[in-house]
Amino acid sequence: MNTIIESINRAVEEAKSRCAAAKSQADIESVRIDYLGRNGLFPELSRQMGTIPAEERRETGAAFNTGRTAIQQAMDEAVARFTGSASNDDIIDITLPGRRQCVGRKHPISRLAEECVAIFRRMGFIAVDGPEIESIYHNFDALNTPMDHPSRDPQDTFYFPDGRILRSQTSPVQIRVMETHEPPVRIVAPGRVFRRDTPDATHGMNFHQIEGLYVDKNVSMADLKSVLQDFAREMFGQDVRIRLRPHFFPFTEPSVEYDFSCVVCGGKGCNVCKHSGWIEIAGAGMVDPQVFRNVGYDPEVWSGYAFGLGIERLAMLRFHIPDLRFLYENDVRFLEQF
């Protein structure tokens, strides 16, 4: 039995015991926080699923769902034990102040980021994150970026006096995952990145990306295009098409830029797509063999693809936002539309 299943079985027994011995609803809430809360055991185990061998994933996933259901059922039964024995006077305290209705809304960037992650999770990807303050090695060197590449220039990247930087891309997360996990790897990494750009309608000094990485045996460019096509249809509808154009990135070979057919005019041509029928989205490609060597993978055995998406770019297309700066001005008149 693998260690994750052992952890799940042990957690279920502990949670049931704690629920049976609970003397108040506060005790039950403590169980929920420890096992099902945001920083609890089960979310942590979910993030470890990518380390499980492919042949054990079905069994582990079934144990994960069964265990989580068992803990929730034990909590519900314990709550019913308290509420069922209480009188109406104990349940409702009419002297308490009224509860105000929450009228807040999620920011469009948060909405799009969560939707992107949900789409890729349905394709089998696992979401991971990493530090925003990065080392030069993880941000540039391990990604095969030449020493004279413009992105290394202080005019493009924020440097700290100790030599660290504010990450200019979420690709360092891919390096950190590959350094600590044996293949196969299938992840997406959403997060904030920073660059020395002059803010205008389409650029900012900080923005959000979500990058994907898939490493396995016999991975091809056809697999990459299939994933991007499925994502485009999930995000913008079944009529959206995708095209790949040759490009260059230091960490992929071959490299491509990919476009979606214009979601405004349906590919017929309009001002948004500059009458081309296509909208440039981002870059992708097959992982360069040197990147695999940098993290200890054998490029003769493993292959993979990587891709990136700008979340602000997707938000502007999805919600027809003409200026990126609207997303960061905190103007209630703008935000309340979402």
Q: What is the pLDDT of residues 151-197, one digit of tens each?
A: 999 989 999 999 899 999 999 999 999 999 999 999 999 999 999 88
The gap between the terminal CA atoms of the chain, to the nearest Å, is 47
pLDDT at position 278 is: 87
**Could you write out the DSSP letters of every residue in 99-136?**
PPPP-----HHHHHHHHHHHHHHHTT-EE----SEE-H
Q: HSE (CB half, 13 Å, CA atoms) of 112?
A: 23
Q: What is the pLDDT of residues 277-298, one digit of tens each?
A: 888 888 999 999 999 999 999 9
pLDDT at position 67 is: 87
- Segment 36-54 shows an average pLDDT of 82
pLDDT at position 1 is: 53
- Segment 297-306 shows an average pLDDT of 95
d(Cα 40, Cα 70) in Å, to the nearest integer?
A: 16
The predicted model scores a pTM of 0.66
User: In whole angstroms, how far apart are CA 175 and each of 74, 130, 179, 264?
Assistant: 40, 10, 6, 36
* Least confident stretch, 225-234, 295-304, 318-327: 318-327
Q: Which two tokens stand for residue 97?
A: 């102040």
pLDDT-derived band at 86, boundaries 50, 70, 90? very low
- Segment 95-100 shows an average pLDDT of 79
d(Cα 309, Cα 260) in Å, to the nearest integer?
A: 12
**Could you write out the DSSP letters of every residue in 234-279?**
HHH-TT--EEEEEEEETTEEEEEEEEEE-TTTTTS--TTTTTSSEE
* Least confident stretch, 58-62, 89-93, 118-122: 89-93
Is residue 216 within a helix (H) or strand (E), and if so which, with residue range? strand 206-216
Q: Which two tokens stand for residue 28?
A: 């039950």
pLDDT-derived band at 145, boundaries 50, 70, 90? very high
Is residue 303 within a helix (H) or strand (E), and if so which, with residue range? strand 303-310
d(Cα 238, Cα 223) in Å, to the nearest integer?
A: 19
Q: Taking all residues of the chain, what is their mean pLDDT, rounded to a whole number?
A: 87
Burial class (CB in 10 A: 0-12, 13-18, 19+), 112: buried
Q: What is the pLDDT of residues 192-226, one digit of tens each?
A: 999 988 877 777 788 899 999 999 999 999 999 99
pLDDT at position 217 is: 95
pLDDT at position 166 is: 94
pLDDT-derived band at 90, boundaries 50, 70, 90? low
* Least confident stretch, 106-120, 227-241, 267-281: 267-281
- Segment 241-252 shows an average pLDDT of 92
pLDDT at position 87 is: 46
Task: Give the single-character DSSP code of 149.
Answer: -
- The stretches of the chain forming alpha helices (DSSP H) are 3-21, 25-35, 41-47, 57-85, 88-91, 108-122, 136-139, 171-180, 221-236, 289-294, 311-319, 332-335
Of 180, 212, 218, 146, nearest in space to 297 by CA:
180
pLDDT at position 55 is: 81
d(Cα 35, Cα 15) in Å, to the nearest integer?
A: 8
pLDDT at position 114 is: 93
